Chains A and B, each alone.
Chain A
Amino acid sequence: MNKNYYYSMKVDVHNHIGIDPEYEEDRTADELIKEMEKAHVDKCIVFPFTSNPDIWKQNEIVKEAMKKYPEKLIGFFTMSPGIPDMADLMYEYKNQGFKGVVTDPRFGEYFGAGSKCFHELVECALVLDLPVWIHADNKDTMRVSNGPIDSMLSKFGGVKFILSSMYYEAENIAARHGNVFIDTASGMSPSAAGIQTLGTHRILMGSNTPYGLLKREIDKIIYLDELTDFQKSLIFWQNAKRLIRF
């Protein structure tokens, strides 16, 4: 294999489209596609802003985006664990072509290892073979203690989780569970020491657009001189491909 092969594809796993009510951000799939073309990113995983509790409407926006750009966009749906008929809705989204589910501490006390609804969400994801994204976009997720997350991750060893790097000690938590991936979106460049804890085989390039930039995320990986081209290719696309099987 040569460098061209390793750099042949770029997949960014952390992109929001739809409406973020907190700051009235309205991000369209078309805007993301333009940014992808400019940054030479081949595929993006997209999902709604988790700040928007109207998951039905926001997941619909992602569905339409997947339809419009089937080769470019891979959709994950957001799910609030407390909503009635959650499992039925998850089956429906799976049939619509969604490839994963995103949940977040913003969904309140229904989120978390102590909640029966949260268990049901993860159990349903297991049956539907969907990766579960434990998302957060704020350092104050410290209010979600790491212990219960740890316990959930080990309880469901058959489920693939993506843990937002925003979580305190995300790398260390992920290092303890072979079924956990983390993304690179937390702002600073990943350090070689941090990567060593986990290995490069479970790190995914994720820029958190529209608040992050695709180009910036690529640069972060390219400038990691400590990694080989092969290891960089894992972060750029090979890990995502293994996880999502696109």
Chain B
Amino acid sequence: MIIDMHVHIGEKVPDKDWKWMYWPGSEPRVQSAEQFIEKMDNCKPRIDMALVYADAVVRPTHEMYVKDNDYVRKMVEKYPDRLIMAPVIDVSWGDKAIQEMHRFFDAGYPIMKLRFTSYRFHANCKAGQKAFAEIEKHEGLPVVHSDWTNFSNPLVIADLARMFPDMKMVIQHFGEYMSRDGLSVAKKDDNIYVDTSALVHPKNVIKFIKEVSPDRIMMASDTFSIRDGLQPQDALNRIKCLDLSPEHEAKVFGQNAIALLKSVGVEL
């Protein structure tokens, strides 16, 4: 089975809403569940399932997050064989963010998507710690955007991995430009998993497998926000061209994701 661990979907909104947010003529940044499923089907090899969430940019009201998360949930319930749910949680909303997590924990969805760079919080800040404590309490899985900023670089995120050593977490994008730091923290903390989306140094996938573990790295495309036109095929190609052994390739393409998702109670 092939699983894409990083996909954004959203509901198409009326043109007037786009005009409200952007200048006329700008492209709405959204793909529906159906559009992505079609892309999965057209990929070679075909992608069987995907971890999906709404676009993780900042929304000015909490209600907008709720609405977007509800759309994703509706689609996951419509296509349970293809899509796996993770709500986007903006921890800057404090108690409201915790309530939003509970809404999904209570419905049986244990994976939470966090993107600290969007609202410019340092991942290891008190609000981040509070969110992680809540996820740990519910035996969930945080999937955390990473990049080169001082909000979300692998070193800052790894602080959380150390504060919560019994909880697994995914450092998405593997640190982007800072993938060497991604390698370094994953070596030290075996509760850290990484995904391969938006990775600037693809050869570090090989390094990760050799120097860290072949069991904690997962293929991901980050469709929609990164090079959408080529995705998710490009994400598959980038792993394919690394000439991994068939055993390692199978792990990266799906086996590792399956093991991780099952470990937090996701039924596949």
Contacts and interface: CB of A to CB of B under 8 A. Distances in A.
Interface in A101-125: 105-110, 114-117
Given A21-B127, A22-B127, A83-B61, A51 B21 contact: no
A107 B117 CA distance: 11
A77 to B, nearest CB: 14
A84 B20 CA distance: 9
28 contacts: A21-B91, A21-B92, A21-B94, A22-B121, A22-B127, A23-B127, A24-B126, A53-B60, A53-B62, A53-B90, A53-B92, A54-B62, A82-B21, A82-B58, A84-B61, A105-B120, A106-B58, A106-B120, A107-B60, A108-B57, A108-B59, A108-B118, A109-B57, A109-B58, A110-B21, A116-B20, A140-B120, A143-B117
Contacts of B12: none
Interface in A196-240: none
Given A106-B119, A116-B20, A138-B120, A51 B60 contact: no
Interface in B79-122: 90-94, 117-122
A22 B149 contact: no
A193 B101 CA distance: 51
Given A51-B92, A51-B119, A115-B21, A139 B60 contact: no
Consensus secondary structure, chain A interface: loop
Contacts of A81: 60
Interface residues of B, number: 28
B60 A110 contact: yes
A52 interface: yes
A242 to B, nearest CB: 31
B92 A116 contact: no
A160 B218 CA distance: 50
A227 B61 CA distance: 46
Contacts of B90: 53
B213 interface: no
B22 A23 contact: no
A105 B59 CA distance: 12
Nearest to A51: B92
Interface string B145-158: 00001110000000
